[in-house]
Amino acid sequence: MWCVSTWLRYVSIDDIVVVNQSNVHRIFDGLIDVDAFRRFSFAKQSDVVSAAWLSEFGGCFLDVDTVMVNNRALFFLDVSEEGDSFVYFGDSNRGGVHIGALSGSRGSSIASAWLSGALERLTRWEDDRSWAYLGNAVLEPLIRAQEYAGLSRCVDVRTNLATPELLLENYYSGMDRRQLYELFWFSDMASVAAPVSWADCGGIISLHNSWTPESFARLEGHDLENVDNRLGAILREHGDRSALSKLEAKFYYGS
């Protein structure tokens, strides 16, 4: 909930719709075969929900491990003036799409084609071999396709500091992406190179919940007050602690 509480400086809690296991069948009634959908891992289910949300409703889809740090986030969230649009985070060095934060117009051609492809794959359970099966494996070819040229916009994770752990690549060249993430976010701040100014950030930071050490993920309430690492500091500075109980109610009981 701490990550989501950072959204509330820029988004009303009433504008946040929580999609979870208790309401996904109601929100997407008649669109998603829920029985087939639930055979897949939660991560793959989230990919289908992303596509379905943008196709059916438009707006923005964010994973709950997304942090907002300034009002530039609104430029990503609001695509109402862009017509048929699909906005995503990508890496200018490595390519690819980060599906944890997406926005688009209602009925976006790319989101609709992604949903169609993902729904077709839901019927082929035996083909499920890759983490990208319902997400990147469907979406990335669409973004590259000439048919959809000009209908998507990439926000670079590097220049916008959406994945700021990449700042450490030049300092710790022998580390892989997960090691950089753990070092950047969970080490003593005084011991890590590459200072960062969140004023230079595009407003949205995408974390990786599956890479978060369990010892940190278990922290609650006052325990977070004394953590001397970068993630603890950013959540204390930008989170709205007064809204935590309201957020918990919204998440546990649905929207």
Q: Is residue 51 in a domain? A: yes
Distance set, CA 168 to CA 148, 176, 182, 193, 196 (Å): 35, 11, 11, 7, 11
Sign, CA torsion 130/132/135/137: negative
Which pTM value belongs to this model? Answer: 0.89
Q: Is residue 244 in a domain? A: no
Sign, CA torsion 8/14/17/22: positive
Cβ contact 187:146 at 8 Å: no
Q: Is residue 48 in a domain? A: yes
Domain of 95 in residue numbering reads as 18-62+85-156
Q: Checking DSSP bridges between strand 59-62 and strand 97-104, what pairing results, if any?
A: antiparallel
Q: Is residue 170 in a domain? A: no
Q: What is the CATH number of the domain that holds 53?
A: 3.90.550.20
Place of tokens 């889809």: 61
Q: Is residue 30 in a domain? A: yes
- For the record, the structure tokens of 68 come out as 């907002």
CA 113 from centre of chain: 20
Q: Which pLDDT belongs to residue 242?
A: 79
Q: Is residue 239 in a domain? A: no
Q: Is residue 92 in a domain? A: yes
Main-chain dihedrals φ then ψ at residue 64, nearest 5 degrees: -75, -5
Q: Is the confidence at residue 199, as pLDDT, over 70?
A: yes
Q: Which pLDDT belongs to residue 147?
A: 97
Q: Is residue 128 in a domain? A: yes
Q: How does pLDDT run across 91-105, given as a tens digit for each residue?
A: 988 888 999 999 999
- Beta strand segments in 5-164, E: 59-62, 66-68, 86-90, 97-104, 153-156
Task: Report the C-alpha gap between 50 and 47 in whole angstroms.
Answer: 5
Q: How does pLDDT run across 13-58, given as a tens digit for each residue?
A: 889 998 988 899 999 999 999 999 999 999 999 999 999 999 999 9
Q: Per the structure, how many domains does the chain have?
A: 1
Highest mean pLDDT out of 9-18, 58-67, 125-134, 245-254: 58-67
Q: Which pLDDT belongs to residue 141?
A: 98
